[in-house]
Amino acid sequence: MNQAAVAGRPLGAAVIGTGFIGRVHARAARLAGATLVGVGASSAAKGATAAEELGARRVYLTPDDVASDPQVDVVHICTPNALHLSYARSALAAGKHVICEKPLGTDLVEARELQERARESGLVATVPFAYRYYPSVREARAQVHGGRLGRVGLIHGSYLQDWLAGGASTSWHLDAAKNGRSRAFADIGSHWCDLVEFVTGDRIRRVSAVLSGWPDGDAGTGLGADNVATVLLAFESGAVGSTVISQVSPGRKNRLWVEFDGTDASAVFDQESPDSLWLGRRDSVTIIPRGESGQAEQAAAVNIVPPGHPHGFSDCFALFVEQSYAAIRGHWSDGLPTFDDGARAAAVVDAVLRSASIGGFVAV
């Protein structure tokens, strides 16, 4: 599907999997001007209900169903992780552009296969590392790249949720066949690492991880699925860092927090308070509100609501989908996360699992 084929008409979108994030994709697709042609579901009955709720005309039950629909230009894959490979592979083979949820596959082998297929196809293939679309994240990136923090030598933080606390969940995430081997780290640690590499342009070179299934599993043994991951990080630049990833921290809903400490200043981004960036110096602390005059050009480029109106998760998603669609029309934008970034995240997850099983540092 080349740019000429979609010029001057709305894109036809299919959303496969219409749970939490599939509905976010469906709304973002509409906002970006696409026609929601159909939805993919695990049964005809579920598909019919979702299609009616979301205003789609068709229901797909297999990867071939959607790949063979001539009205579909772009396939959004929002299913449990184990289905990402088959849906993305078929869609790319049929010449459809793909937006595939993270993690790109259940392991590094699957992610690399999709990265390779996307490259060979020349199609647009993106992964929603949507936190990149907070203006405060872009402001942090501009501060780092503009040298205003000095030399960044320490990067640390955490990503904490509590939806697995209490042990009552029946989610597919608990089934390794549907989820993959890593649970919390692949699910949300991948976001934290992507954000850190995106902001700094630095790369995680080595990791040393301890995983825990606490409070249900084999605490501290590194066996079983991780509800918790603690990871030491060594970056290519020589910077060091650490992160704590948990889905069992009561009261924490979506606390992605990261601090970049430089020789001159430190910057902090907090996803639960995303409308400002904290900037610390030896003699002053400054809060940079989103949308302030003098904000970095790259922050202004993703600032879509005036200050005073919070810029939230849905805004990030809307921007990500809009810019994925712009790429389909031939207009690539700075920071659009692709299958290369999805495979990169899978490589970090893979290193974390290897490190936890042998104990000690391993290369990514």
Ligand X SMILES: NC(=O)c1ccc[n+]([C@@H]2O[C@H](COP(=O)([O-])OP(=O)(O)OC[C@H]3O[C@@H](n4cnc5c(N)ncnc54)[C@H](O)[C@@H]3O)[C@@H](O)[C@H]2O)c1
Please identify which residue in 40, 213, 241, 262 interacts with ligand X, judged by CB under 6 A: 40
Site for ligand X (CB under 6 A): which residue of 35, 79, 126, 246?
A: 79
Q: Is 22 in the site for ligand X (CB under 6 A)?
A: yes
170 touches ligand X by CB under 6 A: no
Cα 17 to chain centroid, rounded: 17
Among 20, 251, 294, 308, binds ligand X (CB under 6 A): 20
The yes or no reply on residue 91 touching ligand X (CB under 6 A) is no
Decide if residue 229 touches ligand X (CB under 6 A).
no
**Residues 240-279 contacting ligand X, CB under 6 A:** none
Q: How far is the CB of 107 from ligand X (least distance, A)?
A: 13
80 touching ligand X, by CB under 6 A: yes
Minimal CB distance to ligand X: which residue?
A: 19
- Shortest distance (Å) from residue 282 CB to ligand X: 36
Lateral strand order in the sheet of 125-126: 58-60, 35-40, 12-16, 74-77, 97-100, 125-126
CB of 103 to ligand X, least distance (A): 6
Least distance in angstroms from the C-beta of 130 to ligand X: 5
Positions in 174-193 near ligand X (CB under 6 A): 187
102 binds ligand X (CB under 6 A): yes
Question: Considering the rule CB under 6 A, would residue 81 count as an interface residue with ligand X?
Answer: yes
Distance CA 29, CA 38 (A): 12
Candidates 1, 14, 15, 21; binder of ligand X (CB under 6 A) is 21
Q: Which is nearer to ligand X, 77 or 267 (CB)?
A: 77
Q: Which is nearer to ligand X, 26 or 149 (CB)?
A: 26
Give the C-alpha distances (Å, rounded to integers) separating 19 from 39, 113, 243: 11, 26, 29
Q: Does 222 bind ligand X (CB under 6 A)?
A: no
Return the number of other C-beta atoms located less than 10 Å from residue 334's C-beta.
Answer: 12
Tell which phi-psi region holds residue 147, choosing left (phi > 0), alpha (psi between -120 and 50) or beta.
left
Site for ligand X contains 280 (CB under 6 A): no
Count residues binding ligand X (CB under 6 A). Answer: 22
Please pick, from the candidates 73, 101, 194, 202, the single residue that binds ligand X as defined by CB under 6 A.
101
Q: Beta strands 240-246 and 284-289: pairing type?
A: unpaired
Binding site for ligand X (CB under 6 A): 16-22, 40-42, 46, 78-81, 83, 101-102, 128, 130, 172, 187
